[in-house]
Amino acid sequence: MQRALDLAHSTQDTINAFISLDDERALGSAAEIDFRLAKGEAVGPLAGVPVGLKDLIDHEGRVTTGGSSFYADVASSTAPSVARLEESGAVVIGRTNLHEWAFGFNSENAHWGPVRNPWDLKTSAGGSSGGSAAAVAAGITPIGIGTDTGGSVRVPAALCGTFGLKVTYGRIPLQGVFPLVPSIDTVGPLADSMDNIDLAYRAMSGDETPEPERARRRFGVPEPWYGDTAIDEGIRGVFEGCIVALREMGHEVHPIQMPDAKPSRHLIAALEEVSAVHRGFRLQGKHYDAAVEARIITVENVTPEEVAEAREWQRMIRERFADALATVDFLLTPTTPAPYKIIGQENIGEKSHRAVLSYFTSIVNHALHPALALPMANSGAPPVSLQVIGGLQSDTALIGLGRWLEEAGVAGFTPAPATSTNPDGE
């Protein structure tokens, strides 16, 4: 625990993964676990494991900021997801930095400073759970807890080279989590191994479903979703190499038609709950980062007709996913089409970084399905990330597949090189 805290403090000026650290409480918990072990008492499967907790999730006695300039709520209770982690022995060392109110994909927080990618301090850690991903990538904590409403676990997992699980909607309780879009919000783990993804997931969800036996699986590459966007050539090459590796393992992989199952103009109207969540703060004239405020205003201005169309679009998306996953076991895409985003630059190429980074992740939330981001072994620095999407409630099947790919050497975590330099390389 001391090592994790020391590394968190020593990298704070560079990586900026945390909004606050809690040395006293973490070390006290660690000492209690040591005492119980010395007495021969049983401890949980995560006993003594340091965890970074996204500063959107309540932890009794700690301040929840949501990454904002004005919100500072001292939590009167601990979110059930966190309480379950602690019951399993995990120890929260601090609250991780994030995109303000979790409403974005870069974690370049105007109030608390940007989260910097441990692989390259000039690049974003992704968002919105950027601090949790950066803490794992830098080797500070083996597990980070994030939330995912459009890719906010998977995008930072991809950019920072960690494992990340977006769970089936409702699988992990949302009580004590400041909402973004309550009808599609999820809580999920990022980690340095599939074992740690599994332990964190089972602790938070209470899911005791056994992993299915290993057998030949059917994978579908969704079209036109995959083929209709520009993809970095390095990512495309690794993705196609992964398909070859899966086939060599005996699996079936082929294109599958999913008409209209790709990002749409309806995405903004489908987020209309954001306006209700922030209405009170907005009426009080609270200060938001300009980019976040602009996105909230866009959502506030959607019409009832646009919302109705968006709900119909969501229904269609869910039907498309149900149809596809009735014929294959899993869907495969890259997690992101681009490998990085430069801090301070709005665009990746000629497109908004939000549209680029969320291209393969956002509609999965609207479909309510689980998805796993996997760093591909020996594929770069940071490694290229593969997204595997499963059927509803197939979370443990996804975890089993991820573990299988990790054991086969197809997927694998590599910690980012330690760095003490500042973002300008001085």
Identified catalytic residue from 54, 166, 262, 341? 54
pLDDT of 424 strictly over 80: no
Give the pairing of strands 143-148 and 50-54.
Answer: parallel
Q: Express each pLDDT in 182-200 by its tens digit.
A: 999 999 999 999 999 999 9
Give yes or no for a contact between 364 and 218, defined as CB atoms under 8 angstroms apart. Answer: no
Instruction: Please give the average per-residue pLDDT across 31-45, as a whole number.
Output: 96
Q: How far apart are CA 179 and CA 181, in angstroms?
A: 6
Give yes or no for a contact between 220 and 328, defined as CB atoms under 8 angstroms apart. Answer: yes
- If you write DSSP's letter for every residue of 198-221 in order, what string do you get? HHHHHHHH---PPPPPP---EEEE
Q: How far apart are CA 104 and CA 122, in angstroms?
A: 18
Q: Express each pLDDT in 50-96 by its tens digit.
A: 999 999 999 999 999 999 999 999 999 999 999 999 999 999 999 99
Give whole-number Cα distances, 389 to 83, 114, 164, in Å.
Answer: 28, 30, 12
**Is 128 a known active-site residue?**
yes
Domains of the chain are 2-260+311-407 (3.90.1300.10)
Six-digit token pair at 410?
């197809």
pTM for this model (two decimals): 0.97
Identified catalytic residue from 29, 81, 88, 128? 128
Closest by CA position to 145, among listed 217, 91, 65 = 91
pLDDT of residue 420: 45
Give whole-number Cα distances, 183 to 149, 170, 174, 270, in Å.
Answer: 9, 9, 10, 10
Q: Express each pLDDT in 304-324 by its tens digit.
A: 999 999 999 999 999 999 999
Give yes or no for a contact between 159 and 135, defined as CB atoms under 8 angstroms apart. Answer: no
Q: How far apart are CA 87 and CA 105, in angstroms?
A: 31
Give yes or no for a contact between 156 and 125, defined as CB atoms under 8 angstroms apart. Answer: yes
**Is 152 a known active-site residue?**
yes
What share of the chain in percent tops pLDDT 90? 97
Q: Quote the strand ranges of 293-410, DSSP E.
A: 330-334, 347-348, 351-352, 371-375, 385-389
Q: How far apart are CA 323 and CA 312, in angstroms?
A: 17
pLDDT of 235 strictly over 60: yes
Q: How far apart are CA 318 and CA 325, in angstroms?
A: 11
Instruction: Please give the average per-residue pLDDT across 265-285, as a whole number.
Output: 97
Identified catalytic residue from 152, 193, 205, 358? 152
- List all residues 6 or more positions away from 263 whose beta carbon is below 8 Å from its beta carbon: 355, 358, 359, 362, 363
Q: How far apart are CA 334 and CA 157, in angstroms?
A: 12
Strand partners, 91: 50
Instruction: Please give the average per-residue pLDDT across 348-370, as a whole number.
Output: 98
Helices (H), ranges, 161-303: 194-205, 233-248, 273-283, 290-300
